[in-house]
Chains A and B, each alone.
Chain A
C-alpha cells in the first residue's frame, strides 16, 4: 500500500482523536479573533497592518503546540510504540503526525480568515501566495513542534523549549511591528526566522505589499525551512522515538 495512504490514515486518526474537538477549535480561534477585534475597534488601520502577523501567530502557536502535545502524549501513553511496531517508515510516521497538526492549524486559520472576511471585509490580493503562506507556515511549524516533542519527555518541557523560540520570534518577525520600522541591526535576525517569511507571504497575499523585493523569496526560504525540518526530524525521530 502506498505510504501516502498510510499518512492519510495516521492524520485522520489524529484528527478524530485529538483535533476535531470543540474546545480545541475554540481555543485556537478565540484568542486571535478577540485580539483582532480589539485592534479593529481601536484603529482599523492597525488592524489591517497586523492581520497577517496575527494569522501567522495563530499558525505558529496552534501547530507547534498541538504537534508537540500529541507526540509527547503518545510517547507517554505507549501508543507511539504501536506505530513503531507497524510496517511504517519513520518518514511516514513523521509526515502523518505533522500533517494532522498542519491540518488543524490550517482549519483554524481558514475559519479565522472566513470570519474576518465576513465580519470585517478582509480581502485577498493573491490567493496563491496567501495559500502558500498558510500551507508552508502550517507545515514548518508542525515539524518544529514535532522536533521539540522528540527532544524532551514531558509536555511542559516541550512547551518551555518551544517558547524559547516562539516569543523571541514574535518580537523579531514583524508580527506587531512591520519590518521597515525595525532598526537595521535587527533585520538580519528577522530574516532567519521562519515566522518572518510566513508573515510576509501572508501580507503579500492580503495586501500586495511585501518587505522583500518579491514574494518568491519568502516562499523559497520557507520551502528550504520545510526540507531542513524534515531532514532534521528523521534522524532525531530514529534516535529518540525508539528509546
Chain B
C-alpha cells in the first residue's frame, strides 16, 4: 500500500435510495495514522458513507480502497483489517463481557491463546476487568459503549470506524471515551470518526470533512476550514481610554469595521499585521495604551454553521 495515497481512498462515491440522492461524487483520502472526522447534519450521508466503507452497502458508483485493497473485490479481507463501532452498541446481551470479546476473536480468526490474552488486555485497558463475568445487558450505557469499542479492537485493526462514539453518554463518560480514542490513536490505529459534537471533532481530529446533502463541501485541518469560511479576519482590542470609532477607522485603513462587543472593540480587518501596526500608531497619536489585543478565529462550530448556510465557502481559496 502506498502510505502517501492514504489508508482509505474514496473516489467519486455516489449512492441513491430510489429518488433520494444520499451521496454524490464524494472523494477523499485518509492518511494512515490520522484521526479523520466526518461531519454533517442529520441526513447528510455520513452513515451511508461509513456503511459503504465497511462493506455493508454497495455504492451505485465510485471506488473505495481500504488498507490498499479494493473493497469491491476483497470485502472479506478488508473486513479483517478494520474495526467498526456502530452508533448503537450491539453486542450479545446474554453473553458476558469476556465471552463477547472472545467470540468476536473467534470470528476474526484469533487463536484461543491470542483471543484470551487480547480480551484480558482490552478489559483491563477499558477498565472493565471487574465486569468481565457480567452479562453485557447488565452494564451501564457508558460501559456498553466502552465494551463495544473494545470489541472492535479485538483483532487489532488498522482502521477503526467510530460512528457517533459519545452519543447519549453523560459528560464524564464522554470525556473518558475521548481519552480512550486518543490512546487508541497513539497505538498507530487510523481513526475515522463521525460525530455531531463539533468540539469533539475539534479536540480529536487531525483533519475534518464536512458533508452536506450528500456532497463534500469542505475538507482540511480545523484551522484551514476556519480560515476558508471567515470572510474577513477579526480582532478584539481594548484601550486604556475610549477612542472615537470614526477616528480609529480614519487612522487605520486596514480596519474595515469596528463595533463594541462585551466592552471590547471588535474589528474586522484586512491583514492582522498591518492592522496591528496601524493600531499601535493610532494609540500613540491618541495618548492611550492598548490594554488587550487578540485575533479572533471562528470556532469549528461557527465554521460549520456558516458552511451549512452557504456551502460555497468551503471551497479552497
A residues apposed to B, CB below 8 Å: 1, 6, 9-10, 13, 16-17, 77-79, 81-89, 242
Query: Beta-carbon contacts of B232-271 to A below 8 Å, as 1s and 0s?
Result: 0000000000000000000000000000000000000000
Cα–Cα, bound, A174→B88 (Å): 48
Cβ-defined contact, A85 with B106, below 8 A: no
Q: Which of A77, A81, A83 is within 8 Å of B93, CB to CB? A: A77
Assuming the A-B contacts A87-B76, A87-B79, are A79 and B92 also in contact, with contact meaning beta carbons closer than 8 angstroms in the complex? yes
Assuming the A-B contacts A85-B54, A85-B55, are A13 and B103 also in contact, with contact meaning beta carbons closer than 8 angstroms in the complex? yes
Assuming the A-B contacts A17-B92, A17-B95, A82-B91, are A87 and B86 also in contact, with contact meaning beta carbons closer than 8 angstroms in the complex? no
Cβ-defined contact, B107 with A17, below 8 A: no
Query: Beta-carbon contacts of B71-105 to A below 8 Å, as 1s and 0s?
Result: 00000110110001010101111110000000110
A-B contact pairs, 16 of them (CB 8 A): A9-B106, A9-B107, A10-B107, A13-B95, A13-B103, A13-B106, A77-B90, A77-B93, A79-B90, A83-B107, A85-B79, A85-B84, A87-B79, A87-B107, A88-B107, A89-B76
Q: How large is the interface on B (under 10, 10 to 19, 20 to 34, 35 or more residues)?
A: 20 to 34
Cα–Cα, bound, A204→B160 (Å): 56
Does B223 reach chain A (CB closer than 8 Å)? Answer: no
Having A6-B107, A84-B55, A85-B55, one finds 18 other A-B pairs with CB under 8 Å, namely A1-B109, A6-B109, A9-B106, A13-B103, A13-B106, A16-B95, A78-B86, A78-B88, A78-B90, A81-B56, A82-B91, A85-B56, A86-B104, A86-B107, A87-B77, A87-B80, A88-B79, A242-B57
In the complex, what residues of B have CB within 8 A of residue A89's CB?
A: 76
Cα–Cα, bound, A89→B76 (Å): 7
> Which A-chain residue is minimally distant from B95 (CB atoms)?
A17
Does B28 reach chain A (CB closer than 8 Å)? Answer: no
In the complex, what residues of A have CB within 8 A of residue B88's CB?
A: 78
Q: Which of A78, A81, A87 is within 8 Å of B108, CB to CB? A: A87
Q: In angstroms, how far is the closest chain B Cβ from the Cβ of A95?
A: 14
> Which B-chain residue is minimally distant from A82 (CB atoms)?
B90
> Which B-chain residue is minimally distant from A18 (CB atoms)?
B94
B53-79 residues with Cβ-Cβ distance < 8 A to A are 54-57, 76-77, 79
In the complex, what residues of A have CB within 8 A of residue B106's CB?
A: 6, 9, 13
Assuming the A-B contacts A13-B92, A17-B92, A78-B88, are A86 and B103 also in contact, with contact meaning beta carbons closer than 8 angstroms in the complex? no
Most chain B CB within 10 A, of A17, A79, A86, A87, is at A87
In the complex, what residues of A have CB within 8 A of residue B104's CB?
A: 82, 86
In the complex, what residues of B have CB within 8 A of residue A16's CB?
A: 95
Cα–Cα, bound, A79→B79 (Å): 16
In the complex, what residues of B have CB within 8 A of residue A81's CB?
A: 56, 86, 90
> Which B-chain residue is minimally distant from A3 (CB atoms)?
B76
Cα–Cα, bound, A9→B106 (Å): 7
